[in-house]
C-alpha cells in the first residue's frame, strides 16, 4: 500500500523554476517558516512546508507534539532514533517524488530544514539516489553521522550544502554543528558555513545569506 503524503503548506507558483521542501523544527508545524517566503524574495520558486506527524518526544517528558523523530538527549553521544529518522526521510522522499511527478526535475529541488527538520533534510539529501540542487541545515546537526560513509549517495557526492548556526544556541550547541560540518568535509562535501550572534532562531542576516545561496542554485 502506498503511504500517504504528509500534509503541507505550499507557497509560490505551481509552475516554478524549482522547489524548496522546508522542514520545521520540533513542536512547530509547516506554517512556522511560511513567512520566510516573502523575506527571501524569490517569487519563481515554490516552497513546500510539510507538517511532521505527532508523536511522544522523550526529551520533553513524552509529551505528544509534531516531531520528525524521537529525541532522548542532545549530547554528542546521545542515542539517536534511527527508525524515526529513516521513517521521516522516507516521507520526505515521497514529497520529492510528488514534485518530480509535477514536472520538477530532482536537480531543481532543494531540501531545507531548521533544527530537527534540518537533521532530517541532511540525512535525506545525502542518501537520495537522484541528484538534488542542494540542502540547507539551519541550527542543526548531522544525524547518524557514523553511517554516512556506507550510505551516502554517489549522485549527491558534490551536493551544495549550506549550514548556519547561532553562537548562542542553547538548544543545539554550536559545537554539534561544527562536528557535523567537520564530518561532512571529511566525507568530501563542500560546505558553506555561517555562524551568527544569535540563539536558536534565524536572523535577518541569515535570511539574506539563504536568499543568495538559493538564487545561486537556480541561476541557470
Task: Cite the active site residues.
Answer: 115, 169, 200
User: Phi/psi of residue 217, each to 5°?
Assistant: -70, -25
What CA–CA distance (Å, rounded) separates 31 from 51?
A: 8
What CA–CA distance (Å, rounded) separates 148 from 181?
A: 13
Q: Which grid cell is 195?
A: 555562524
- Residue 37's alpha-carbon distances to 34, 53, 137, in angstroms, are 6, 23, 17
Give the angle subtended at the CA of 114 by the CAs of 196 and 208, to the nearest 5°: 45
Residue with cell string 561544527: 178
Give 101's contacts (C-beta < 8 A, 6+ positions apart): none
Amino acid at each position: 500500500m502506498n503511504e500517504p503524503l504528509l500534509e503541507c503548506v505550499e507557497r509560490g507558483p505551481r509552475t516554478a523554476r524549482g522547489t524548496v521542501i522546508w522542514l520545521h523544527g520540533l513542536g512547530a508545524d509547516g506554517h512556522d517558516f511560511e513567512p520566510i517566503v516573502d523575506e527571501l524574495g524569490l517569487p519563481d520558486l515554490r516552497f513546500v512546508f510539510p507538517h511532521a506527524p505527532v508523536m511522544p518526544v522523550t526529551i520533553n517528558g513524552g509529551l505528544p507534539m509534531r516531531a520528525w523523530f524521537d529525541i532522548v538527549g542532545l549530547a554528542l553521544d546521545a542515542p539517536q532514533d534511527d527508525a524515526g529518522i529513516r521513517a521521516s526521510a522516507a516521507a520526505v522522499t515521497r514529497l520529492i517524488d510528488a514534485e518530480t511527478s509535477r514536472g520538477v526535475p530532482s536537480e531543481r529541488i532543494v531540501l531545507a530544514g531548521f533544527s530537527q527538520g534540518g537533521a532530517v533534510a541532511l540525512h535525506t539529501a545525502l542518501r537520495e539516489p537522484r541528484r538534488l540542487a542542494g540542502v540547507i541545515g539551519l541550527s542543526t546537526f548531522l544525524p547518524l553521522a557514523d553511517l554516512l560513509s556506507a550510505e551516502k549517495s554517489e549522485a549527491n557526492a558534490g551536493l551544495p550544502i549550506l549550514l548556519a548556526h547561532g553562537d548562542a544556541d542553547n538548544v543545539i550547541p554550536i559545537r554539534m554543528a561544527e562536528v557535523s560540518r567537520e564530518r561532512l568535509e571529511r566525507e568530501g562535501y563542500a560546505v558553506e558555513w555561517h555562524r551568527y550572534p544569535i540563539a536558536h532562531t534565524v536572523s535577518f542576516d541569515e535570511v539574506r545569506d539563504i536568499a543568495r545561496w538559493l538564487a545561486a542554485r537556480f541561476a541557470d
